[in-house]
């Protein structure tokens, strides 16, 4: 992912579409979007074949929304994140596919989901915060931006 994002950024730089100072941010943005698309594709592919399109689409849309607004879980590597996401999807869809036809299942699913989200999210790990070195670097960069017209 990172290599592809770097190549796309270099292409944008060579075409003069962005300034050199924005290259790192563009690389990060491209990589983040590619990762999200790949994750969604893999989740939907496995879900469609295992549980049908209705459950998979419902799960995937709300999974992405919840992850976006609760800051999600930050695994050490992308592969670990993808594996845990797939494991969670299969577990949740397996449980839901066995009980969603029961009349009282929707309120139960909503109640359990609310409690789990309230208890678990947002995940506040050290990996999502800037280190002292990163903070100083950003402050220096920001002060240069403020003084250079």
pLDDT score, position 14: 92
Q: Where exactly are the structural domains of the chain?
A: 2-147
Whether 42 and 86 have beta carbons less than 8 Å apart is answered as yes
Stated length of the chain: 149
pLDDT score, position 149: 47
- Walking along the chain (149 residues) 10 residues at a time, the average pLDDT comes out as 88 89 88 86 86 82 73 73 82 80 76 74 61 74 54
Burial of 63 (0-12, 13-18, 19+ CB in 10 A): buried
User: Can you tell me which residue has the tokens 């009282």?
Assistant: 104
pLDDT score, position 90: 85
């Amino acid at each position: 992912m990172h290599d592809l994002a770097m190549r796309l950024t270099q292409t944008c730089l060579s075409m003069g579409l962005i300034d050199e100072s924005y290259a790192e941010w563009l690389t990060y943005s491209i990589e983040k979007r590619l990762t999200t698309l790949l994750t969604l594709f893999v989740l939907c592919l496995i879900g469609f074949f295992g549980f049908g399109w209705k459950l998979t689409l419902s799960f995937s849309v709300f999974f992405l929304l919840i992850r976006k607004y609760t800051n999600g879980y930050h695994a050490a590597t992308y592969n670990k994140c993808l594996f845990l996401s797939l494991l969670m999807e299969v577990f949740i869809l397996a449980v839901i596919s066995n009980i969603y036809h029961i009349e009282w299942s929707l309120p139960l699913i909503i109640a359990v989901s609310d409690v789990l989200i309230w208890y678990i999210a947002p995940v506040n790990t050290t990996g999502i915060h800037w280190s002292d070195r990163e903070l100083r670097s950003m402050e220096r960069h920001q002060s240069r931006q403020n003084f250079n017209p």
